């Protein structure tokens, strides 16, 4: 049987189990396509064909023995922020260009156990700081819908390669929208789990109290299987929850009947592109027309403060998390002397890009004596208020619906000169990180021929609700089935 690379992971899994093609054949076909696409997309820092073929051979043995998991033999892209034992993990930074981890991160270890096949390390904004993947030391990733546009970020490489039908699944990380915004800009699904649902062990840290690893996929069932494979308590990450991982496929096929949807209109009243507004309004109609009870104008007044709160907490944590890159132990290192202090300073000046330096400086300032109370501490207090505000909303609604991003994919270079304009891209996604709640972006239409995403947020650990809603919406619409055409004819 010829291999159709455009299908979802669960379709591949069905064919693999049926013996219609082997994991090795799938891996080879996948690597061929990725290698052909790469000159156009730059979705990867590194493709790992040899490792993929080795893993695929092991997956075939497992498939033959009949104990295959849903992800066995499935090609997956790993964001290059996730430590992979023996394979360079760069965070798309000059600082870690040659850094080779000595351990797998827990998510990668679990995916290995599930028998999946790693095709390569996906490009990102340096240390996950950015919303366009332009802040990568290894060049920007391009959007397969329009190669002159960005795929969003920071998990832009992961989103672009899934959207381009290079792989069915990819891992992302989401600190302020880094999964959902690129999912929105590339027309695929992306889920940020509840804080503590997925282990952060071995994920190169940016803002520890905000970030989670999550899946990119092209339908809700794949999101469910992927999340189930990586979620759950990890003794190596004390911030993971001991709650058992539910069966996320349980909500599949259950429709929208009775789903209580709250729409905080005031939250996205300003700065929204018309095309995005139209697509999201149409999506809300679909929800309302198919059994969901939609309430407009719900109040989340403090959530508007999430952006400034984020830009105090995230840089503060980053300023400490990135302090270890001093050239002493690993990574880029300056040896020009004459003093250790100067060498450390030059190491960091040469190794970090501008956006990373900007955030380290903001964070260092916010934590300084005399400013801590006014900035960091106040931000934490507002954070508590935002969390309570969402908790109150979720007593009345199962999901809160917003656009994922204020606009569609923008042109390369359009916002790099204006950090604030770039930051505003995460206006709607950041509240979920501040509140620690799960949130998902789902394709909901097109504007100017470019994908638009809607965001659903739910109460802590209610990922199942998001998957159910995404599945039901996907059954009613075909936005997620639209494939980009910019790479037609490539492989």
Partner 1 sequence: MVAAQPEAASTATRTAYEPVIGLEVHVQLKTRSKMFCGCERDYFEAEPNSHVCSVCLGMPGMLPVINEQAVAFTILAGLALGCDIPAHSKFDRKNYPYPDLVKGYQISQYDQPLCLGGTLEIEADGVTRSVQIERIHLEEDTARLLHREGANGDSYSLIDVNRSGVPLMELVTRPDMHSAAEAMAFLRTLRQVLRYVGVSDADMEKGSFRCDANVSLRPVGTTTLGNKVEVKNMNSFRAVGRALEFEIERQARVLSEGGRVAQETRGYIDATGATVSQRSKEEAHDYRYFPEPDLPPLETSRVTVEELRGHLPELPAAKRERFVAQYGLTPDEARQLVETRAGAEAFEQTVALAGPAHARDVAHWLIGDVTRLLGTLGEPDAELTDSKLTPAHIAELVGLVGQRAITAATAKEVLQAAFESGEMPAAIVDARGLRQINDDAEIDRVAAEVIDANPQAVADYRGGKEAAVKFLVGQVMRAMRGRADPNGAAEALLRRLQS
Q: Judged by CB under 8 A, how many residues of this single chain contact partner 1?
A: 45
Instruction: Select from 46, 246, 330, 482 the one that contacts partner 1 (CB under 8 A).
Output: 330
Q: Which positions from 282 through 321 interact with partner 1, judged by CB under 8 A?
A: 316-317, 319-320
Instruction: Select from 23, 26, 91, 487 the one that contacts partner 1 (CB under 8 A).
Output: 91
User: Which among 229, 253, 193 has a CA at the least distance from the CA of 468?
Assistant: 253
Contact by Cβ (8 Å): 491, 37: yes
Burial 16-37 (b: 16+ CB within 10 A, else e): beeeebbbbbbbbbbbebbbeb
367 binds partner 1 (CB under 8 A): yes
361 binds partner 1 (CB under 8 A): no
100 binds partner 1 (CB under 8 A): no
Residue 339: Cβ-neighbour burial (10 angstroms; 0-12, 13-18, 19+): exposed
103 binds partner 1 (CB under 8 A): yes
Strand partners, 77: 120, 170
Is 178 a residue of the active site? yes
Least CB distance to partner 1 at residue 237 (A)? 5
Distance, in Å, from the CA atom of 346 to the CA atom of 336, rounded to the nearest integer, reads: 9
In this structure, what is the dihedral angle of CA atoms 316, 457, 214, 386, given to the nearest 10 degrees? 20
448 binds partner 1 (CB under 8 A): no
DSSP H helical ranges for 177-219 = 180-186
Distance, in Å, from the CA atom of 33 to the CA atom of 164, rounded to the nearest integer, reads: 10
Least CB distance to partner 1 at residue 318 (A)? 11
Q: In sequence order, what E strands does 413-466 have?
A: 439-447, 450-458
Contact stretch for partner 1 (CB under 8 A) within 94-102, 115-123, 175-183, 391-399: 94-102
User: Which among 247, 175, 183 has a CA at the least distance from the CA of 219?
Assistant: 183
Active-site annotation holder among 132, 136, 158, 178? 178
Is 79 a residue of the active site? yes
391 binds partner 1 (CB under 8 A): no
411 binds partner 1 (CB under 8 A): no
- Residue 24, token pair as written in the block: 């090795």
Distance, in Å, from the CA atom of 131 to the CA atom of 123, rounded to the nearest integer, reads: 12
202 binds partner 1 (CB under 8 A): yes
- When the beta carbons of 65 and 341 are compared against partner 1, the nearer one is 341
Contact pattern for partner 1 over residues 23 through 62, marking x by CB under 8 A? ----------------------------------------
Given the rule CB under 8 A, which residues bind partner 1? 81-83, 89, 91, 96, 99, 101-103, 105, 200-205, 207-209, 235-239, 316-317, 319-320, 322-324, 326, 328-330, 340-341, 344, 364, 367-369, 372, 376
By annotation, the residues acting in catalysis are 79, 154, 178
């Amino acid at each position: 049987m010829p291999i159709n690379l455009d299908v979802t992971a669960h379709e591949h899994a069905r064919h693999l189990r049926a013996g219609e093609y082997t994991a090795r054949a799938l891996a080879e076909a996948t690597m061929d396509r990725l290698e052909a696409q790469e000159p156009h997309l730059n979705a990867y820092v590194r493709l790992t064909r040899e490792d993929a073929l080795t893993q695929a051979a092991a997956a075939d043995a497992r498939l033959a023995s009949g104990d295959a998991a849903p992800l066995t033999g499935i090609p997956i892209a790993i964001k290059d922020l996730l430590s992979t034992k023996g394979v360079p993990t760069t965070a798309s930074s000059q600082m870690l260009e040659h850094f080779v981890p000595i351990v797998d991160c827990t998510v990668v270890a679990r995916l290995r156990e599930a028998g999946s096949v790693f095709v390569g390390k996906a490009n990102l904004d340096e240390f996950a700081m950015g919303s366009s993947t332009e802040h990568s030391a290894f060049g920007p990733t391009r959007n397969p819908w329009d190669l002159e546009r960005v795929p969003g970020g920071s998990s832009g490489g992961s989103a672009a390669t899934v959207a381009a039908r290079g792989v069915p699944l990819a891992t992302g990380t989401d600190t302020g929208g880094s999964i959902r915004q690129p999912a929105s800009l590339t027309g695929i699904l992306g889920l940020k789990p509840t804080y503590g649902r997925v282990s952060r062990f071995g994920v190169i840290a940016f803002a520890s109290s905000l970030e989670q690893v999550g899946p990119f996929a092209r339908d809700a069932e794949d999101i469910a299987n992927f999340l189930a494979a990586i979620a759950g308590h990890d003794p190596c990450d004390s911030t993971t929850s001991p709650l058992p991982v539910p069966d996320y496929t349980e909500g599949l096929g259950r429709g929208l009947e009775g789903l209580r949807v709250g729409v905080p209109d005031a939250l996205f009243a300003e700065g929204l592109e018309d095309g995005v507004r139209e697509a999201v309004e149409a999506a809300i109609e679909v929800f309302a027309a198919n059994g969901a009870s939609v309430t407009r104008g719900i109040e989340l007044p403090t959530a508007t403060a999430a952006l400034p709160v984020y830009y105090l907490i995230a840089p503060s944590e980053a300023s400490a998390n990135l302090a270890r890159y001093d050239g002493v132990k690993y990574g880029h290192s300056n040896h020009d002397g004459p003093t250790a202090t100067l060498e450390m300073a030059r190491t960091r000046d040469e190794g970090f890009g501008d956006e990373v330096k900007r955030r380290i400086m903001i964070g260092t300032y916010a934590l300084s004596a005399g400013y801590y109370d006014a900035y960091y501490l106040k931000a934490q207090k507002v954070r508590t208020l935002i969390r309570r505000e969402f908790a109150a909303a979720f007593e009345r609604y199962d999901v809160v619906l917003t656009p994922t991003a204020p606009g569609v994919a923008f042109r390369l270079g359009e916002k790099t000169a204006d950090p604030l304009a770039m930051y505003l891209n995460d206006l709607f996604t950041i509240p979920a990180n501040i509140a620690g709640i799960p949130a998902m972006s789902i394709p909901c239409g097109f504007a100017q021929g470019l994908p638009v995403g809607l965001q659903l947020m739910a109460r802590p650990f209610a990922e199942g609700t998001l998957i159910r809603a995404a599945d039901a919406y996907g059954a009613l619409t075909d936005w997620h089935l639209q494939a980009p055409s910019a790479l037609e004819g490539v492989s």
